[in-house]
C-alpha cells in the first residue's frame, strides 16, 4: 500500500494543471440544458479538450485518448474539478457508450463513433427509459423490426438527458413479440433522423434537462446495432456497470463541492451553531470516503481485478452524499436558500440551489437507489428474490 503519488504521477498532475490554467474558460459557461447557445458553448469546450487530447484520457490513442491508467484518470479528474472546468456535456457518450463501444463495438463502429465522440462532434444521449419502464428496463416496448439491412424503429423513450440538443442517442429496442430480457438490441440512431420527434421536458426549475423521444418508422442501418442481435440486455447491463461503477461520478466532483461547502461555512459561521460545522465535516468525510473507495477500486482494477455488484454501493453512496452536502449548504444560507440568484458571500459562482435540485435526481437516475439496494441484497449478499 503506497498512498503517495509517484514522481511521474506528480508530473502528470502538473501537466494537467498547467493546461487547465491556460484553457479553462474564465467565466462560467451558460447552461447546456437551457439554450442551444449554451449547448454549443459546451461543445466548443469538448473540442478544446479534444485538441489537447484531454477528451477522454483513458481511451486508446487511436481514438484521441492517452491510454492512461485509472489512477491517472483520477488525477486528471481532480485537476479538472479543481480548475472549475465546465460540466461535460458529453458524459453519456464518453463515460457510458464509449466503454461499451470499446467492449462490444465492431472495428467499423469504433472508427466511426469514438473519434467523433472524443472530439465533441457527436454529443450523445441515452435512450433507455420508457413510459412504464424506468428501472425495470426489461419492460421496454419500443420495437426494432428488421427489414433487410435496416431496422425500423417505433416507440417512445423518456427521461433522455441532453437529448434536447444532442446529436445521437443509444437506445434499447425489442423484436416485435419478444418479451422481457430476450429479443432486445442496443441500437444507435441520429436524433435528426426522419421520424424522430423530440419533446423537451422542463425540470422543476424550467431547465430542459431531459426529453421524450418519439420514433415513428425511423430507419437505421443494421450496422448501427451495438452488440449481437437480441443481446441488448447483456450489452446494457455492461453499460449500467460503467454507470454505477467508477466513471460516471468521479470523486473529485464531491471533494470540490465539500471544499466549497467548508468555505461557505467559514464565511458564515459567526451566525451559525457549531453543529453545522459538524455536518460540514461529515460531508467532507463522505467525499473523502468516496475518493478513497474509488482509489482502492482503481488500484484493484489496475492489478487485473474486476468490479461486481459492489458498484451499486457506489451509486447509493455518492447520490446520498450529494443530497446531504447540498442540504447542508442550503441550511447555512438559511433564508437566502430559496433565492434563485443567491448571495453566497465568498463564492459567487456557486449556486447551491441548482446543485441541490440536481442532487435530488441522483437517487433516481442510473438505476434508482431502491433497485441498487435490491442488487446489493440479492447479488452481493445472496438474499432470495421476491
Partner 1 sequence: MEFAFTDDQLALTQAAREMLVDSCQPADLRRLLESDEPRDDARWSTINEMGLIGMLAPENAGGMGMTLVDFIGIAEAAGYVALPEPLIELAGVTLPLLSRLDETRGWLERAMAGAVVAIGHPVNPLVADADTADALLLGDGEDLHLVERGAVALTRTESFDPFRRLYAVEWTPSPATKVGSGWGDTADRGALLAAAQMVGLAQRCINMAVAYAKDRQQFGKAIGSTQAVKHMIASAQVKVEFAKPVVHAAAAELPLGTLAARARVAHAKIAAGEAADVAARMAVQAHGAMGMTWEVDLHFFLKRAMALNYAWGTAAAHRETVVERVKTLRTGPDATFASELA
Chain residues binding partner 1 by CB under 8 A are 1-6, 9, 13, 71, 77-79, 81-82, 251-252, 255-256, 258-259, 262, 266, 277-278, 280-281, 284-286, 288-293, 295-296, 298-300, 303, 310, 313, 316-317, 370, 372-374, 376-378, 380-386
Inter-residue contact 192 to 213 (CB < 8 Å): no
Name every residue whose Cβ is closer than 8 Å to that of residue 77 and which is 6 or more positions away in sequence: 250, 251, 252, 253
Sign, Cα dihedral of 198, 157, 212, 226: negative
Known catalytic residue: 179? no
Name every residue whose Cβ is closer than 8 Å to that of residue 42 and which is 6 or more positions away in sequence: 29, 32, 86, 87, 88, 89
* Smaller CB separation from partner 1, 24 or 71: 71
Give the CA distances from residue 220 to residues 144, 168, 194, 229, in Å, rounded to whole numbers and listed in that order.
Answer: 9, 12, 10, 14
**Min separation Cβ 283 and partner 1, Å:** 9
Inter-residue contact 93 to 122 (CB < 8 Å): yes
**Min separation Cβ 272 and partner 1, Å:** 13
Distance between CA atoms of 318 and 315, rounded to whole angstroms? 6
Active-site position among 243, 278, 310, 378: 243
- CA 44, chain centre distance (Å): 19
The cell for 300 is 484493484
* Smaller CB separation from partner 1, 41 or 281: 281
**Min separation Cβ 222 and partner 1, Å:** 40
With cell 440486455, the residue in question is: 233
**Helix, strand, or coil here: 357?**
helix
* Smaller CB separation from partner 1, 121 or 378: 378
* Smaller CB separation from partner 1, 81 or 104: 81
* Smaller CB separation from partner 1, 153 or 252: 252
**Helix, strand, or coil here: 125?**
strand
**Min separation Cβ 161 and partner 1, Å:** 24
**Min separation Cβ 29 and partner 1, Å:** 20
**Min separation Cβ 277 and partner 1, Å:** 5
The cell for 341 is 440568484
Based on the number of CB atoms within 10 Å of its own CB, is 58 exposed (0-12), middle (13-18) or buried (19 or more)? buried
Based on the number of CB atoms within 10 Å of its own CB, is 276 exposed (0-12), middle (13-18) or buried (19 or more)? middle
* Smaller CB separation from partner 1, 87 or 231: 87
Please identify every residue annotated as catalytic. Answer: 243
Amino acid at each position: 500500500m503506497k498512498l503517495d503519488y509517484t514522481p511521474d504521477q506528480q508530473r502528470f498532475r502538473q501537466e494537467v494543471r498547467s493546461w487547465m490554467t491556460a484553457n479553462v474558460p474564465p467565466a462560467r459557461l451558460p447552461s447546456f440544458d437551457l439554450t442551444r447557445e449554451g449547448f454549443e458553448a459546451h461543445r466548443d469546450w469538448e473540442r478544446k479538450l479534444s485538441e489537447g487530447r484531454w477528451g477522454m484520457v483513458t481511451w486508446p490513442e487511436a481514438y484521441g485518448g492517452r491510454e492512461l491508467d485509472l489512477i491517472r484518470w483520477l488525477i486528471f479528474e481532480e485537476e479538472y474539478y479543481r480548475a472549475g472546468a465546465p460540466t461535460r456535456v458529453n458524459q453519456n457518450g464518453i463515460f457510458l457508450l464509449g466503454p461499451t463501444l470499446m467492449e462490444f463495438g465492431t472495428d467499423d463502429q469504433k472508427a466511426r463513433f469514438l473519434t467523433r465522440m472524443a472530439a465533441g462532434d457527436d454529443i450523445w444521449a441515452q435512450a433507455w427509459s420508457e413510459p412504464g419502464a424506468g428501472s425495470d428496463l426489461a419492460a421496454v416496448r419500443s420495437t426494432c423490426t428488421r427489414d433487410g439491412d435496416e431496422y425500423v424503429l417505433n416507440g417512445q423513450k423518456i427521461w433522455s438527458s441532453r437529448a434536447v440538443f444532442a446529436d445521437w442517442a443509444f437506445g434499447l429496442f425489442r423484436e416485435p413479440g419478444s418479451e422481457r430480457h430476450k429479443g432486445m438490441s442496443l441500437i444507435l440512431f441520429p436524433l435528426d433522423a426522419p421520424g424522430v420527434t423530440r419533446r423537451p421536458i422542463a425540470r422543476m426549475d424550467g431547465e430542459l434537462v431531459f426529453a421524450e423521444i418519439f420514433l415513428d418508422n425511423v430507419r437505421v442501418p443494421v450496422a448501427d446495432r451495438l452488440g449481437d442481435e437480441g443481446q441488448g440486455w447483456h450489452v446494457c447491463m455492461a453499460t449500467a456497470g460503467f454507470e454505477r461503477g467508477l466513471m460516471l461520478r468521479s470523486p473529485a466532483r464531491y471533494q470540490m463541492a465539500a471544499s466549497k461547502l467548508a468555505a461557505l461555512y467559514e464565511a458564515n459561521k459567526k451566525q451559525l451553531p457549531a453543529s453545522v460545522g459538524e455536518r460540514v465535516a461529515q460531508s467532507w468525510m463522505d467525499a473523502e470516503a468516496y475518493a478513497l473507495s474509488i482509489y482502492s477500486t482503481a488500484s484493484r482494477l489496475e492489478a487485473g481485478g474486476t468490479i461486481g455488484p459492489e458498484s451499486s454501493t457506489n451509486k447509493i453512496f455518492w447520490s446520498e452524499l450529494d443530497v446531504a452536502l447540498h442540504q447542508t449548504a442550503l441550511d447555512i444560507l438559511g433564508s437566502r436558500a430559496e433565492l434563485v440568484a443567491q448571495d453566497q458571500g465568498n463564492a459567487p459562482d456557486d449556486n447551491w440551489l441548482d446543485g441541490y435540485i440536481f442532487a435530488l435526481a441522483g437517487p433516481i437516475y442510473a438505476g434508482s437507489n431502491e433497485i441498487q439496494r435490491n442488487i446489493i441484497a440479492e447479488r452481493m449478499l445472496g438474499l432470495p428474490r421476491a
